[in-house]
Structures are given as structure tokens and as C-alpha cells.
Amino acid sequence: DAGVIQSPRHEVTEMGQEVTLRCKPISGHNSLFWYRQTMMRGLELLIYFNNNVPIDDSGMPEDRFSAKMPNASFSTLKIQPSEPRDSAVYFCASSPGQGAFVGSGNTIYFGEGSWLTVV
């Protein structure tokens, strides 16, 4: 089975430009997460969708960030306008159900990440 698929894998853009990151979750998973990885803060949850509905977006840093999930197999994370401090690795992850119970060995499955550099 295909895992979580993210695109682009690498993106270099100029400050002020719009950036769109894409994610295809694992088929049948109905929870989707966007994370950002930085050296200082590790993996931070930006937003969490369940059944295509945003449940918790408290981690979205500011209004320049927005995320959508128009259907069960696709999500986007958009940054407009981008700034150098947005440079990071952005991970999309999915899990089988709302608040999938992690203790039983179920877990969230990460994509390979999108490396964003804003110059």
C-alpha cells in the first residue's frame, strides 16, 4: 500500500511568494495532520483534520498559513506570503480514525516531508 504522499519534496522560493504544499493521505485514513519540523521546536502540530473537517488549527502560526482538505484523499497547506522564518520541513501524516488510539500500536503515519526554503 502506498504511504502518505507529499509534494513537492523540495521547494525554494523567494520571500513574499505563495507556497502550496500537497498531501495525499493513506487510503481509508480519516484523520490528517500537518506538522512542521524545526531545530528549535522539533515537530509541531499545525492543524488536524478529521473526516475532511478542521478540528484543531491552534498550531497554525499566523494568518499567512491556511490549510484545506477538499476531499478524503487530498489536503493542501498554503503560506502566503512566505517569509524566511517559514523555512522548515513540513510533514503530512494520517491515521485510521478520529483520535486513533496510539497505545495499541496504532499510530500516525508520516509522509517523507516537504523541505521548504524561503530566501
Q: Does 102 bind another protein (CB under 8 A)?
A: yes
Q: Is 55 in the site for another protein (CB under 8 A)?
A: yes
Contact indicator for 54, 66 with CB cutoff of 8 Å: no
Choice between 79 and 108, CB closer to another protein: 108
* Identity of residue 9: R
Q: Please tell me the count of residues contacting another protein according to CB under 8 A.
A: 33
Rule CB under 8 A: is residue 5 a binding residue for another protein? no
Rounded to whole angstroms, how far apart are CA atoms 59 and 55?
A: 11
70 is a contact residue toward another protein (CB under 8 A): no
Q: How far apart are CA 14 and CA 2, in angstroms?
A: 32
Interactions with another protein, residue window 79-98 (CB under 8 A): 91, 93, 95, 98
Please, are residues 21 and 41 in contact by the beta-carbon 8 Å criterion? no
- List C-alpha distances in Å: 38 to 69, 89, 90, 101, 117: 24, 7, 9, 26, 12
Binding of another protein by 18 (CB under 8 A): no
Q: Which residues bind another protein (CB under 8 A)?
A: 4, 31, 33, 35, 39-45, 48, 50, 55-56, 91, 93, 95, 98-103, 105-113
